[in-house]
Amino acid sequence: MLCDECGLRKAAVYQRHSQRALCEECFEKDLIKRVERSLANYGVSKRERILLAVSGGKDSIAMMFLLSRIFPRENLRAVTIIEGVKGYSRSREVSICDRVANELGIEYEAMHLKDIVGFSVSELVERSREMNLNISPCSFCGVLRRRALNVVAREQGVSKVATAHTLNDEVQTMMLNVLRGDTMRLVQWHPRSVPHSEKLVKRIKPLREIYEYELAIYAYLRGVELQEDQCPYLVQRPTLRFRFKEFLLILEALRPGIALRMLRETELLVEPLVNHVNKSGIVLPLCERCGEPTAPNRKLCRICEYLEALSLS
Ligand code: SF4
Ligand code: ZN
Ligand code: ZN
């Protein structure tokens, strides 16, 4: 069977949402086109220096390949933040990232969360268990990782931090924000939203228009063997997102392409609100303890609140 796009080469991938069979080259071109669309939506220029947050999973590996096709290599650097979860060293993922970064000529470094923010995830989890506090490991991990990436991005003088969130992730996030009625998070979810603090480096998600299954195929076609270990705290993750994940797969099977349409249509719907908030001149307050930006009307940031609750401040 020949490629539906070029009609010359053998088709290698069936793309459900477009109902086309594509050869490897046309498939990659199609992915790059959607990444470039997202980058344009974020207003990113190819001259900017970008820090890639890579975990070593298929999505982040695919992101390294795709961004290296778009940006000059010297404008990209990649980092893995090692959370410090007992029994989860990430050594396998780090060696995959290292190999791919080397192959692509991208500077790469694996860094420990504890060295950047002073605590590992397991330290906080154990402390909270000792104190009988019901805080999920992923809550600690999320805020610490986010802080660490921002600190590293600032230190390295990059203008954006790219994460490998996929179309599936983005639609789940959007639906959760809508259901919770969390308008501010819905605004932040939009590519055009601005960070409201000079201490925050803008985060971008270049893969936000690409399906997870496409990234798995792409990583496979690039010859990357993926052997992700699993974080032992994964089973304690909040379940609502997982339910949406399954729901979205069912919807997508019934109506191929629905996730992409939902993402694009919701972006258009939210845009006037985003423009309004961007012009509002909001400046985020700084945490009284650590000096990092925090949410409006808060004195402490989430991390300092956790440390206080754990009597670690
Ligand atoms: Fe962090 Fe939770 Fe993922 Fe483990 S499962 S790496 S704790 S977010
Ligand atoms: Zn083709
Ligand atoms: Zn703080």
User: Which domain CATH number covers 97?
Assistant: 3.40.50.620
User: In this structure, are 295 and 151 located in the same domain?
Assistant: no
Q: What is the structure's pLDDT at 113? A: 97
Residue closest via CA to ligand 1's atom 8 equals: 138
15 lies in a domain? no
CB under 8 Å to 151, separation ≥6 — which residues? 116, 117
296 lies in a domain? yes
User: In this structure, are 45 and 135 located in the same domain?
Assistant: yes
User: In this structure, are 82 and 228 located in the same domain?
Assistant: yes
User: In this structure, are 308 and 257 located in the same domain?
Assistant: no
20 lies in a domain? no
200 lies in a domain? yes
Q: What is the structure's pLDDT at 187? A: 96
User: In this structure, are 36 and 163 located in the same domain?
Assistant: yes
* pTM for this entry: 0.95
Residue matched to tokens 């996929």: 166
Terminal-to-terminal C-alpha distance of the chain: 64
Please tell me the distance between residue 200's alpha carbon and the centre of ligand 3 in angstroms.
14
62 lies in a domain? yes
Q: What is the structure's pLDDT at 21? A: 98
Q: What is the structure's pLDDT at 235? A: 79
CB count, 10 Å around CB of 268? 9
Asked whether the CA dihedral 205, 211, 214, 220 is positive or negative, the reply is positive
User: In this structure, are 163 and 65 located in the same domain?
Assistant: yes
How far is Cα 78 from Cα 99, in angstroms, rounded to an integer?
Answer: 12
Supply the range of the domain harboring residue 310.
283-313
- How many residues in total does the chain contain? 313
Pocket test for ligand 1, best of 129, 138, 165 (most atoms within 8 A of CB): 138
Closest ligand by atom to 117 CA: 3
Closest ligand by atom to 11 CA: 2
User: In this structure, are 293 and 239 located in the same domain?
Assistant: no
Please tell me the distance between residue 243's alpha carbon and the centre of ligand 1 in angstroms.
17
- CA 288 → CA 13, 139, 297, 299, distances in Å? 53, 21, 12, 6
Q: In what order do the strands lie in the sheet with 107-112?
A: 107-112, 76-82, 50-53, 160-162, 202-204
Closest ligand by atom to 26 CA: 2
17 lies in a domain? no
Residue closest via CA to ligand 1's atom 7 equals: 138
Nearest residue to 90 (alpha-carbon basis) of 25, 44, 141, 152: 141
User: In this structure, are 140 and 288 located in the same domain?
Assistant: no
Q: Is 262 in the pocket of ligand 1 (CB under 6 A)?
A: no
How far is Cα 165 from Cα 151, in angstroms, rounded to an integer?
Answer: 20
70 lies in a domain? yes
**Encoding tokens for residue 107?**
């500077």
Q: What is the structure's pLDDT at 179? A: 92
Q: What is the structure's pLDDT at 166? A: 98
4 lies in a domain? no
User: In this structure, are 297 and 152 located in the same domain?
Assistant: no
How far is Cα 5 from Cα 29, in angstroms, rounded to an integer?
Answer: 10
Contact criterion met (CB below 8 Å) for 10 and 1 = yes
User: In this structure, are 181 and 290 located in the same domain?
Assistant: no
- Residues forming beta bridges with residue 77, ordered by sequence position: 51, 107
How far is Cα 186 from Cα 174, in angstroms, rounded to an integer?
Answer: 6
Residue closest via CA to ligand 1's atom 2 equals: 138
Please tell me the distance between residue 284's alpha carbon and the centre of ligand 3 in angstroms.
13
How far is Cα 169 from Cα 244, in angstroms, rounded to an integer?
Answer: 10
Residues of the chain with pLDDT under 70: 227, 237-238
User: In this structure, are 210 and 84 located in the same domain?
Assistant: yes
* pLDDT averaged over every residue in the chain: 95
Q: What is the structure's pLDDT at 238? A: 62
Q: Is 84 in the pocket of ligand 1 (CB under 6 A)?
A: no
Please tell me the distance between residue 149's alpha carbon and the centre of ligand 1 in angstroms.
15
| Number of domain units in the chain | 2
Q: Is 71 in the pocket of ligand 1 (CB under 6 A)?
A: no
Nearest residue to 207 (alpha-carbon basis) of 249, 274, 263: 263
User: In this structure, are 272 and 176 located in the same domain?
Assistant: yes
Q: What is the structure's pLDDT at 210? A: 98
Q: Is 237 in the pocket of ligand 1 (CB under 6 A)?
A: yes
